[in-house]
Amino acid sequence: MKILLILAWRNLWRNRKRTLITVSSVLFAVLLATLFVSMEKGSYERLIDSMVRYSTGYIQIQDVLFDEEPSIDHTLLFDEEIEAILKKNDEQIAFHVPRLQNFVLVATENNTRGSILNGIDPELEIRMNDLNEDLVKGEFLKPDDNGLMLAEGLAGILNVTVGDTLVLLGQGFHGSTAAGTYPVKGIVDLKIPEINNNTIYMSLSEAQWFYGTGNRVTSLIIMPENPARTQQLAENLRMMIDPEWHRVLTWEELLEDLLNLMKFDVAGTMIMMMILYIIIAFGLFGTILTMLIERRKEFALLFSLGMKRAQVAIVCFFEALFISMAGVVLGIIISIPVVAWFYHHPIPLSGDMAEAIADYGFEPVLPFSADPNIFLNQALIVLIISFLIGLFPVYKVFRIHIMEAKK
Amino acid sequence: MKTVIKTTNLQKIYNNSVAPVKAVNDISLEFKEGEFTAIVGPSGSGKTTFLNLIGGLDKPTGGEIFIDGTEISTMKESELFDFRLRNIGFVFQSYNLIPVLTAKENVSFIMLLQKRPKAEMEKRATEMLEQVGLSDKLNSRPNQLSGGQQQRVAVARALASKPKFVLADEPTANLDTESAFNLLDIMEKLNKEENITLIFSTHDQRVIERAGRVITLVDGRVSEDEVGSSRFEV
């Protein structure tokens, strides 16, 4: 085997320029593919992170019927039983955030609008998503506050400001009527227009009183110590809760629609990647084909001397593998610092695109992901391509006719 | 003397179905151990085809080839690869050496494929390169050697593994007179010292005069078979 490796390695350097050009083409393809995937994944990661932090959290415990029919009647009783379950998983849980969320009709003297009322624990909400940083007017809610905090868009639609009073009317627990008047204490800018135009915050205790739910919540958000172990924590919780009444959902289940949309988008990216892989494949194939054609006499000599076809085929296969491995390894070595640079220094956007992204509450930059799987996946894909191309000389070597090759 | 190679009614016909060309036509010959034989004849007389057949590189259309009593014309390709490796040494007219290996590695190559012990390979390769006068070129690559030196390395390689016989297809064709005589001296010396049967094709008169036996081919047939000073019309 050693002599086969020596032959393959030395054969690569017979035409140094050609080998270096081929290695470079693989290298640049790996670098481009890695940057491309890192940029796409970076954008998705940021979007998912925002959705998880501002909306769903990593895990939610809900009433078993809430996901199918979100209603104030399908709320979860946050009692000692649930608290005991959380305590048993204390080491894996960073904190939990209770929320009571329901539709409500909000009215002023001249305006009425349907909105979503969020009963929140202000301190835990700040811990989860720094909501206080979005405050643009007035004060942030306190745990026992009896006022409201309005999204800026909704405040504009209703033409109200801090100090004004709103009338809230909705359906309370088990068909009761929920009604009350509340002063506006603060206004927050929630960036995303759909949310910014219909969101009201109230302290959890006040919301539970308003809807008459007692100690009930629509969802109990669980933030894990280690987000990478979300699945494991969710499984632990599933084993402990009563499945007849409660349900544990991970962010992947809660954001299923968004993830499906991303998968569809990834399919488009895959077409771009395929083009890149085809370029790699043809570059490598061209080199291998040339090496085969110009060495026919050499193969005839090796066969005459008694070298088996399989041994010659292994040499050719190793040559293809060495070229691509050199390209892949160098590509990864170069792409690690490049991706790391862009991960820490995302590409700033400008113009309309920057404004549109800023409107949705995101920093107007192209973020990159530094997920190690990106490098490993690219390396693996290119190696599989090279492996398949490396099979071509194997096939050809087994078909060479010694007497024809000798001519 | 023991018969190393025997052919009976050997035939090789090209374009069998369209316009048959009898490259080798009914050749029956025997080669004894230690013989130094030249196969001569004009271009297209069948010299190379005959060597390819007895070297197991090509399959005959008819007849039989026995090497040391073993019929090789019916062997499978994989068996022939192994048979060549164990029994036959080759020297070609050109493109004889593996370009990426040094002279010493080229000489060791067959022994390496035969999985001989490393120490034995090293010793034998060095010894053979000394015998062909290239002890100072052990680590030279083929492109650092002259044409004559490359042919001497090829002869060293062919003999290093002590095959039953060596086939040389016009080994001196591309060499100047001095290099050709030098190569012949070496082949003749090794033939005597190692007692290895050596058969070579040539139309070079300088070479023919040195051969112990001269077989002349014309149109794929043996027209003359001369041993020593006696010449036979066939």
Q: Give B190-204 pLDDT, tens digit per residue.
A: 888 878 899 989 887
Q: Which helix (H) or strand (E) holds A36?
A: helix A16-51
The pLDDT assigned to A232 comes to 93
Name the residue of chain B whose CA is nearest to A296's CA. Answer: B95
User: How does the average pLDDT of chain A come out, rounded?
Assistant: 89
Whether residue A308 and residue B92 make contact (CB cut-off 8 A), yes or no, is: no
* pLDDT tens-digit readout, B41-57: 888 889 999 999 999 88
Q: What is the mean pLDDT of residues B20-47?
A: 90
* Residue A77, helix vs strand vs coil: strand
Q: Can you give the pLDDT at residue B104?
A: 94
Structure tokens given for A264:
């569809």
Task: Specify the pLDDT at position A49.
Answer: 80
pLDDT of residue A63: 92
Q: Please indicate whether, in this complex, the C-beta atoms of A7 and B98 are within 8 angstroms of each other.
A: yes
Is B52–A7 a contact, with Cβ atoms under 8 angstroms apart?
A: no
Q: Which residues of A touch B96 (CB under 8 A)?
A: 301
Across the range A3-28, mean pLDDT stands at 88
Average pLDDT over residues A385-403: 87
pLDDT band at residue B234 using 50, 70 and 90 as cut-offs: very low
Q: Does A401 touch chain B (CB under 8 A)?
A: no
Q: Is residue B230 scored above 50 in pLDDT?
A: no
CA distance, residue B181 to nearest chain A CA (Å): 25
- Shortest Cα distance from B139 to chain A (angstroms)? 15
Taking the CB of residue A11, how many other CB atoms lie within 10 A of it? 21
Q: Which residue has the higher pLDDT, B119 or B175?
A: B119
Which residue among B52, B81, B100 sits closest to A11, beta carbon to beta carbon? B100
Residue range A307-329: average pLDDT?
90
Contacts of B112 in chain A (CB under 8 A): 3
Kindly report the nearest CA distance between residue A39 and chain B, in angstroms.
44
Q: For residue B189, name the pLDDT band (cuts at 50, 70, 90).
A: confident
- A contacts of B88 (beta carbons < 8 Å): 306
Distance (Å) from the alpha carbon of A33 to chain B's nearest alpha carbon: 35
Report chain B's mean pLDDT, rounded to a whole number: 87
- In chain A, the residue whose alpha carbon lies closest to the alpha carbon of B92 is A301
Minimal Cβ distance to A306: which of B96, B99, B110? B110
Give the pLDDT confidence of A77-124 residue by residue, as tens digits. Answer: 988 889 999 999 989 999 999 999 999 999 998 889 999 999 999 999
ipTM greater than 0.95: no
A7 min Cα distance to partner chain B (Å): 7
CB < 8 Å from A in window 97-116 of B: 98-101, 109-110, 112-113
Instruction: Answer yes or no: is pLDDT of B233 > 70.
Output: no
Task: Give the pLDDT of residue A28.
Answer: 87
Range with the poorest average pLDDT among A213-217, A226-230, B227-231: B227-231
Instruction: Report the pLDDT value the prediction gives residue A343, as an integer from 0 to 100.
Output: 92
| Structure confidence at residue A59 as a pLDDT band (50, 70, 90) | very high
Q: Which residue has the tokens 């992204």?
A: A357
Q: Which residues of A touch B100 (CB under 8 A)?
A: 7, 10-11, 14
State the Cα–Cα distance between residues B138 and B104, nearest whole angstrom. Answer: 5
Judged by CB atoms closer than 8 Å, whether chains meet at A403 and B58 is answered as yes
Tell me, yes or no, if B55 comes closer than 8 A to chain A by beta carbon. yes
Q: Does A113 touch chain B (CB under 8 A)?
A: no
3-state SS, residue A272: helix
Across the range A243-258, mean pLDDT stands at 88
- Cα A238 to its chain centre, rounded Å, is 24
pLDDT per residue over A258-286, tens digit each? 888 878 877 878 888 888 888 888 888 88
* Per-residue pLDDT at B11: 92
How far is Cα A56 from Cα A50, in angstroms, rounded to an integer?
A: 9
- CB atoms under 10 Å from CB of A361, counted, come to 15
E strand spans, chain B: 3-14, 21-32, 36-40, 62-67, 70-71, 88-91, 165-169, 197-202, 213-218, 221-227, 230-233
pLDDT value of position B232:
39
CB contact under 8 A, B101 and A308: no
Residues from chain B contacting residue A308 (CB–CB below 8 Å): 78, 81-82
Confidence of residue A219 (pLDDT cuts 50, 70, 90): very high
Instruction: In whole angstroms, give the CA distance from residue A34 to residue A336.
Output: 9
Confidence category of residue B231, pLDDT binned at 50, 70, 90: very low
Tell me which residue in B57, B81, B101 faces A308 most closely, judged by beta carbons: B81
Please provide residue B231's backbone torsions phi and psi, each rounded to the nearest 5 degrees. -115, 130
- Residue B84: closest C-alpha in chain A: A306
Question: Which residues of B are less than 8 Å from A11 in CB distance?
Answer: 100
A309 — contact with chain B (CB < 8 Å)? Answer: yes
Of all residues in chain A, what percent carry a pLDDT higher than 70?
Answer: 99
For the segment A331-354, what is each residue's pLDDT rounded down to a tens digit?
999 999 999 999 999 888 888 877
Q: Which of B78, B99, B109 sits opposite A14 (nearest CB)?
A: B99
Q: Quick one: average pLDDT of B96-123?
A: 91
A405 has a chain B CB within 8 A of its CB: no
Contact A307 B101 (CB under 8 A): no
Q: For residue A159, what pLDDT band results from cuts at 50, 70 and 90?
A: very high
Neighbours of A351 (CB within 10 A): 8
Q: Which fold has domain B3-96+164-233?
A: Rossmann fold (3.40.50)
> Amino acid identity of A83?
E
Of A148, A184, A178, the residue nearest A164 (C-alpha): A184
Mean pLDDT of A125-148: 91
The reply to whether residue B101 touches residue A298, judged by beta carbons under 8 angstroms, is no
Minimum-distance CB partner of A10 among B58, B81, B100: B100
Q: Which pLDDT belongs to residue A333?
A: 94
Instruction: Looking at the complex, report in whole angstroms how far the Cα of residue B57 sits from the nearest Cα belonging to chain A.
Output: 7
State phi, psi for A248 to the nearest 5 degrees: -110, 125
Amino acid at A213: T
* Binary contact (B95, A306; C-beta < 8 A): no
Q: pLDDT-based confidence at A361, cuts 50/70/90? A: low
How many angstroms separate the CA of residue B193 from the nearest CA in chain A? 23
Give the separation between CA A211 and CA A202, rounded to whole angstroms.
Answer: 12
* A102: nearest Cα among A78, A71, A59, A123: A71
Rounded to an integer, what is the distance from CA B80 to the centroid of its chain? 16
Q: Is the dihedral of CA B99, B102, B104, B108 positive or negative?
A: negative
Q: Tokens at residue A48, please? A: 């998912």
Closest C-alpha among B173, B168, B180 to residue B210: B180
Tell me whether residues B81 and A307 touch, CB distance under 8 A: yes
Question: Strand, helix or coil at A350?
Answer: coil
Cβ contact (<8 Å) for B90 and A11?
Answer: no
Displacement of CA A183 from its chain's centroid (Å): 39
CB contact under 8 A, A308 and B99: no
B85 contacts A306? CB cut-off 8 A: yes
Tell me the backbone φ, ψ of residue B77, rounded to 5 degrees: -60, -45
Extents of the domains making up chain B: 3-96+164-233
CA distance B31 to chain A (A): 21
Residues A196/A148, Cβ–Cβ less than 8 Å: no
Looking at residues B21-26, what average pLDDT do you find? 89
pLDDT band at residue A360, thresholds of 50, 70 and 90? low
pLDDT at B228: 66
The alpha carbon of residue B38 and the mean position of all alpha carbons in its chain are separated, in whole angstroms, by: 10
Distances (CA, A) of B188 to A84, B48, B114: 98, 21, 26
Q: Which residues contact B26 (CB under 8 A, 6 or more apart)?
A: B9, B10, B11, B63, B221
Q: CA B157 from chain center: how many Å?
A: 12
Cα nearest neighbour of B93 on chain A: A406
